[in-house]
Structures are given as structure tokens and as C-alpha cells.
A = this chain, B = another copy of it.
């Protein structure tokens, strides 16, 4: 719960990296913070499908892939944009436009051949090659990630675990020995590597700097901190606290249609009357992180899935 300078980095002391990379939306689109100057970004071929895929489209490709895989396992041969879109929960026009950015993989009057489209999207996402995953921070989170079997079978393979806590360095977690961060190095010549950051928020920025200086250019950040990285490095964040707060915002609005919700403009605080200076404030989940793991028990066979309205 110690939110030191790592949280708000640049404000406190001097730090090298700039070009902060936000979370979801702002992660890559145009330039986020790269400066007002670099408009255009037509560095490559413009008419080449594969180039210039909108970020919003990229974010939906995994969903399409998922739905397609489900269809494939069910034995479905072809699917229309209408049906596939319904499965993913988007409009059919959006789906078609998305796919058109990758190329023309459909057949007019028929639809899309499931297997073919599946391969194409996989290829576009880079899932035809192997991806090395290194996990930094072997707490509850990192441990579960390391033990997560889904990695290996999907093209993402854990190849290294790192932590600086003496308590865990040297320990063998799921076949991998936890090594100290000082020994960190990007596996296999620096390409096709993704680092998963599962360290406390307080040290996340410093660890991130270290990774970047070692050549890492893709980071999945579980710490509730906005990492500041140089241009060319991609960061995506998974943040439970933010998600809950966003849900709270919408829920609250639904519940109180008339209320403005804001505290009375001029003065201290009204409305609920509660809320100490920073007691309830934001910054939830600092020092903690999300944890990914297998799901052994959980809901088994639902009694009756009723719920029809």
C-alpha cells in the first residue's frame, strides 16, 4: 500500500523514459503521446492489406478468432458475417469492415470459410510463430501465470521467471528456476518476446525500465500503474480497480437518473457526506495485482440455467 514515486514517476524525480503508453484504447492507435508532429504515419505501403489495420480492429481480432475456433470445433464449414458478428456481439457491417482491412477472405453470396478465415486471422495476429513469455515477479500472480498450461499449447511459451525477493529466487516453479532480475536477458536474440509484469505497483516502473533497457518491446502490465516507456515499446495493462470503477460509474448513473452526482461545485462535500480526503479515493489495488491461473473447481454443472429473462 506504499505508493511511492513509482506510481507517478515523471512528476517526482528525473526519469529517462517518456512517451507514456496508457492502457487499452491509447495503447497504440496513432501516437498517443509521441508528439503532435508525427501525423500521417504512412511509413509503409498504404495499399498493402496487413498494413494500416486500425487499432480498434486489432482489438477485436482475438474475439473473432475465438468465435471461429468454437465454430470450427463444432464442425461448421462456413459462416456469414451476420452470424459471426452476432456471436461476437458486434454489427455485421463492422465485422465485414474489420475483415476487409486484412484482405478479402469471404465469398460473396456464401460467407466465410471458417477454417480459412481462422488461419488468416491467426497469421495476422502473429500466432503462426512461437512467442517467448517471461514473467517478472513471482508472487501469487506470477506463480499462477507460470503454472498456467494454456500458454504452451497456444504459441505462447513461458521461458523465464524472474524475481528479486530472496525468498523465491532459486525456487523451482513449474519447471523453471526463478532467477534474480540482475540476470535478466531477452531470450533468443530479442525477437518474439513478451514480458509479463506481475510486480507490485511501487516498483513496476523501475522494473519496466530495466526490461526496456534489456531490449523488451512488448509488456503486459498487471500493476495498477501507468508505465512510461520510450517510443516503440508497447504496453497493455490489466487493471481490476479501473474496471470496477468504470462499472461503478455506469451503475451509479443508472440508479440515480436525476442526480448530478458531482459534489456541489463551490464547496467541500455534499451528496453522501462521506469520503475522507483520500480514504476511499482511487488507487485501489495498489501493490496488488491480478492473477491468472487455472480454474480447478468453480461452477460445475449448473443446476438449471433458467435465466430466460
Contact = CB atoms under 8 A, between A and B. Distances in A.
Contact of A156 (B20, B284, B303): B284
A65 B282 contact: yes
Q: How many copies does the complex hold?
A: 2
A307 B23 CA distance: 22
* Central interface residue in A153, A271, A283, by most chain B CB within 10 Å: A283
A177 interface: no
A45 to B, nearest CB: 9
Contacts of A28: 250
B281 A122 contact: yes
Interface size class, chain A: 35 or more
A187 interface: no
Interface string A68-86: 1111111010010001101
Contacts of A182: 303
Interface string A241-263: 11111111111111101011111
Nearest to A63: B226
Contacts of A252: 125-126, 129, 192
Given A66-B7, A118-B281, A261-B50, A125 B295 contact: no
* Central interface residue in A11, A24, A25, A44, by most chain B CB within 10 Å: A11
